[in-house]
Amino acid sequence: MTDESSELIGVILAAGRGSRMMNLPTRLPKPALPILDKPILYYQLEAMASVGISKAIVVVGYRSFEIVRLIERLPDMGIEIEYVHQQESLGIAHCVGQLESLVRGPFVLFLGDIYFQDLDLAAMLAEFGAPGVDAIIGAIEEEDTAAITRNFCIVTDADGRAAAAIEKPRYPQSRLKGVGIYIFESAVFDAIRRTPRTALRDEYELTDSIQILITDGYNVRPSNHLSDDINITYPADLCEVNLAALRHESLDYYLADSAVVSPSARVLHSVVGSGAAIADGAHLRNTVVFAGGVVPPGADLDGVIVTESEIFKL
């Protein structure tokens, strides 16, 4: 880590449209979708606050007003938030590159549609602070080859440095999967400026920028300080992550304080958000009810998402 004078800041990329979630009947963009009644990006802001980050940039785009509205309603975590509106959607590297004039020193970067379980950001920052370390890539040992092929693979050398970062590899060369959290110095902007547009997706991939850092001789190191990462890509992922969060918290169900649940209703392995209403005789299993969602009398729901507007069967 270099001794730049600027304080560490946080960055959350929350501009994505989430095209594969578009059939979910909700006004909320992906980073605002609820996990145990809190938006995904709440957990990322919470992680930043836990290590003393006092300023964050949130990049917004699709339905940006919903992101801002939700953040402003969250408990004050002592983080000053600046919103930047993404003008074009040309890939993660392009999006980060637009922040160069706003970011003068080291920064923590989160992809806003990923839920990180048991994330120890303090441990990652400690590794970043070790002599000679220039960048950290969040990583996890992944046994599911298909999961690696959907993300990116990190190949390390004998000293544990990243030797290669390979986006969506058909044949992964290691079991070390990159996840959507990074710690960079401002040198990453030089790499981003030299990042070519990909032929496959016609975008500027952050993985390619990381590979340029590696090729230039920077000490880029993977850091495994989380137990799981779940990318919220499809509606079923949102249900999965909520149920995983219940198991992680050793809860059979979660009811927000302001939820109204009829005494004759049954709620098992389910999450019920703020202001939701569960009517007489309803039976919920493995179900997520958004804030303001309504479950009618006698409904029998299993593996369902109830948004603020309607019941959606997976």
Give the CATH number, domain containing residue 77.
3.90.550.10
Q: Determine contact, residues 33/39, Cβ cutoff 8 Å.
A: yes
CA separation for the pair 44, 110 (Å, rounded)? 7
Q: What is the pLDDT of residue 199?
A: 65
Q: What is the pLDDT of residue 160?
A: 95
Q: Is residue 3 part of a domain?
A: no
Q: Which of 6, 222, 195, 229 is nearest to 135 (CA)?
A: 222
Does 215 share its domain with 145?
Answer: yes
Q: What is the dihedral of CA 208, 211, 216, 217, to 10 degrees?
A: 160
Does 42 share its domain with 75?
Answer: yes
Residue with tokens 């953040």: 71
- Of 231, 261, 284, the domain-final residue: 231
Does 218 share its domain with 259?
Answer: no
- Of 177, 202, 231, the domain-final residue: 231
Does 217 share its domain with 266?
Answer: no
Kindly list the averaged pLDDT for each block of 10 residues, start to end, along the chain of length 314.
Answer: 67 82 87 93 95 95 85 88 86 92 96 94 97 97 94 95 95 95 96 87 90 97 95 91 95 96 97 97 98 97 96 93
Does 118 share its domain with 169?
Answer: yes
Does 300 share its domain with 225?
Answer: no
Does 156 share its domain with 257?
Answer: no
Does 168 share its domain with 224?
Answer: yes
Q: Which of 2, 227, 35 is nearest to 107 (CA)?
A: 2
CA separation for the pair 16, 45 (Å, rounded)? 18
Does 201 share its domain with 289?
Answer: no
Q: Is residue 238 part of a domain?
A: no
Does 217 share its domain with 128?
Answer: yes
Q: Is residue 178 part of a domain?
A: yes
- What is the token pair recorded at 150? 């959907």
pTM flag (> 0.75): yes
Q: Is residue 128 part of a domain?
A: yes
CA separation for the pair 46, 177 (Å, rounded)? 24
Does 214 share its domain with 281?
Answer: no
- Of 231, 266, 300, the domain-final residue: 231
Q: Determine contact, residues 204/97, Cβ cutoff 8 Å.
A: yes
Q: What is the pLDDT of residue 3?
A: 45
| CB proximity list for 36: less than 8 A, separation 6 or greater | 242, 245, 246, 249, 254, 271
Residue with tokens 């120890």: 120
CA separation for the pair 287, 271 (Å, rounded)? 6
Q: What is the pLDDT of residue 4?
A: 44
Does 214 share its domain with 272?
Answer: no
Q: Determine contact, residues 68/60, Cβ cutoff 8 Å.
A: yes
CA separation for the pair 275, 289 (Å, rounded)? 10
CA 168 to chain centre: 18
Bridge partner list, 261? 278
CA separation for the pair 5, 23 (Å, rounded)? 46
**Full residue range of the structural domain in which residue 224 is found:** 9-231
What total of structural domains would you count in the chain? 2
Q: What is the pLDDT of residue 5?
A: 47
Q: Is residue 240 part of a domain?
A: no
Q: Is residue 179 part of a domain?
A: yes
Q: Is residue 76 part of a domain?
A: yes
CA separation for the pair 302, 288 (Å, rounded)? 10
Bridge partner list, 37? none
